[in-house]
Each structure stands twice: as structure tokens, then as C-alpha cells.
Amino acid sequence: MKYRYSYDTAIGRLTIMADETAIIRISLGEVPDSGSALQETSLIARTYKEIEEYLKGERKEFDIPITLSGTPFQLQVWKELQNIPYGKTCSYSELAERVGHKGSCRAIGNANRHNPILLLVPCHRVIAQDGSLAGYAGGSHIKRKLLKMEKEKTNVQ
């Protein structure tokens, strides 16, 4: 069985989806899904609590089980995204090199665009080689806000 529940957060409305054992999707906005029940499970509530702590700058890592579904390439990219430390960024080209696909910046961008678990799989930490923000599913204003918050909290400690 799949479950979903939505919350208002500092970056807008988030919908968190889970199965019985793991988070399977975190999306910006309300996400109606006829294949899931509208129910706040304990795992969904715990995920929301950790996201709220993160957005307040009180949490740097998540302790939530996730299940990612995608192509082998997407899974490889999403796994590598989880290795980018809090408060740090890397470029699309650096990420392409890390996954062994040098020069595949567009493919990396496409995998990021399809990241099903925002925040927990931190695609917002990937920027253009020139330091510009490039794209983000929630818009560049949210990406800028997340990166600024992480940088400030990293510099404080």
C-alpha cells in the first residue's frame, strides 16, 4: 500500500509519499495519486519533522529510509547526490565525472530533474560550472534559499 500526505513548509507545500517501509517520493505541491491513500503515517510524519528541522537549520542529515526507483543511470546519479556534503555544492560536470560519465552534463541534469525524493536526495546542491544555480524543480528561488541556509549554518559551526 502507498500513502501520501501534504504539508505547508518554509519552501511551499510538500507532498510526502511512502510505502510500508520507506519514503518513495517527496514533491513540491499537492500531488494527487489515485494509487495512494491520503493518510499521515508515522513514517511520513517523522519525515516531515526531519524536513522542518532541516529547513530551520537544525538538521544536516536525514535518518529516513528511502526507496528510489529509476533507470540504472538515474539510480547511480541519485546515489552520488547523497554524497555531496551539507553546505557544499558540485557542478553538473563534476557529478558526471564522479559517476563515470564525463561530459554527460545534460544527462546529469535530466536525472536531477527526475529526482523523486527532494531534499533527502539533495539535487539542489548541484550547480553550473560557472557557479550559477541552473535549474531546480521548485524554482531557482528555492534552490538559492536552501543553499544559502546550508552555507550559513555550516559557517556558524
105 part of the active site: no
Rounded to 5 degrees, what are φ and ψ at 16?
Answer: -110, 130
Which residue of the set 11, 28, 123, 146 is catalytic? 123
Q: Which residue from 145, 128, 137 is spatially nearest to 90, judged by alpha carbons?
A: 128
Query: Are 138 and 112 contacting, i.e. CB atoms less than 8 angstroms apart?
Result: no
Residue 91 bridge partners (DSSP): 127
Q: Where are the alpha helices (DSSP H) in the chain?
A: 42-55, 72-81, 92-98, 105-113, 140-156
Laid out side by side, the sheet with 12-18 consists of 23-28, 12-18, 3-9, 37-38
- Catalytic residues, by residue number, are 123
